[in-house]
Chain A
Amino acid sequence: GIQVEQSPPDLILQEGANSTLRCNFSDSVNNLQWFHQNPWGQLINLFYIPSGTKQNGRLSATTVATERYSLLYISSSQTTDSGVYFCAVLHGSSNTGKLIFGQGTTLQVKP
């Protein structure tokens, strides 16, 4: 099956710093999503981005499907950005909607 690897596994930032999170995947995908899991465990949709670039406020994401990676940029980080960031992909051969998640990047933003 498709492999999804996220890096770095852990990241500690000072408030106001910028960061880049990476998601590599081993095969073609039809769908790629980024999620933020907040301290209460909720999965918040950040981006649906099978290809191209999107921006939403301080966050932006880029997926280069042909090179099998996606990047999540966080600018001017805030303490509320803390939590775990997951990418999840839908394999190109899937016809059941099954998403495969990476192991996540745990971000801690210090005041």
Chain B
Amino acid sequence: EPEVTQTPSHQVTQMGQEVILRCVPISNHLYFYWYRQILGQKVEFLVSFYNNEISEKSEIFDDQFSVERPDGSNFTLKIRSTKLEDSAMYFCASSVEDRVTEAFFGQGTRLTVV
């Protein structure tokens, strides 16, 4: 069964460092997303991406965040200068379309900023 794959599963980084979280969406999907879950809280939307453009971003997704689809298979989230409060589980998701369709989530990357 096709699945969304995220790497790494865990990342520890020092405050102020840049991190790149990687995702391989399901191959025939056209819409890609990043979500965040701070420990013990609900899952929050960060950004949606379609046709090499951001289609929507949340207030959380400020200038320190960026997304990219560098090739035909990968989708990345870059955090430029990490802060302690960026520590969270980050989920990548993908879907065939943007409305009446099921979204599939990766297993998550647990980011710890120290």
Question: Given known contacts A31-B99, A97-B99, is B104 in contact with A45 (CB within 8 Å)?
Answer: yes
B18 on the interface (CB 8 Å rule)? no
Count of chain B residues with Cβ under 8 Å from any Cβ of A?
A: 29
B98 touches A41 (CB 8 A): no
A101: chain B residues at CB < 8 Å are: 42-44
Residues of B within 8 A of A99 (CB): 33, 35, 45, 93, 103
Asked whether A100 is an interface residue with its Cβ less than 8 Å from the other chain, the reply is: yes
Q: Does B22 contact A (CB under 8 A)?
A: no
User: How long is the Cα–Cα vector from A103 to B56 in the complex, in angstroms?
Assistant: 22
Write out, one digit per residue, whether chain B residues 88-114 have a CB within 8 A of any chain A CB (1) or not (0).
010101010111111111011010000
B48 located at the interface, meaning its Cβ lies under 8 Å from any Cβ of chain A in the complex:
yes
Residues of B within 8 A of A100 (CB): 45
State whether B102 touches A31 (Cβ < 8 A).
yes
Within 8 A of A (CB), among B42-80: 42-45, 48, 50, 55-56
The answer to whether A66 has its CB under 8 Å from any CB of chain B is: no
Chain A min CB distance to B96 (Å): 10
With most chain A CB atoms within 10 A of its CB, the pick from B37, B89, B91, B93 is B37
Q: Are A95 and B103 neighbours in the complex by a CB distance under 8 Å?
A: no
Known interface pairs A42-B107, A97-B95; A86-B102 also in contact (CB < 8 Å): no
Sorted nearest first, the 5 A-B pairs with minimum C-beta distance are: A96-B56, A48-B102, A97-B98, A101-B43, A96-B55
Which residues of A are in contact with B by a Cβ distance under 8 Å? 30-31, 33, 35, 40-43, 45, 48, 50, 86, 88, 90, 94-104
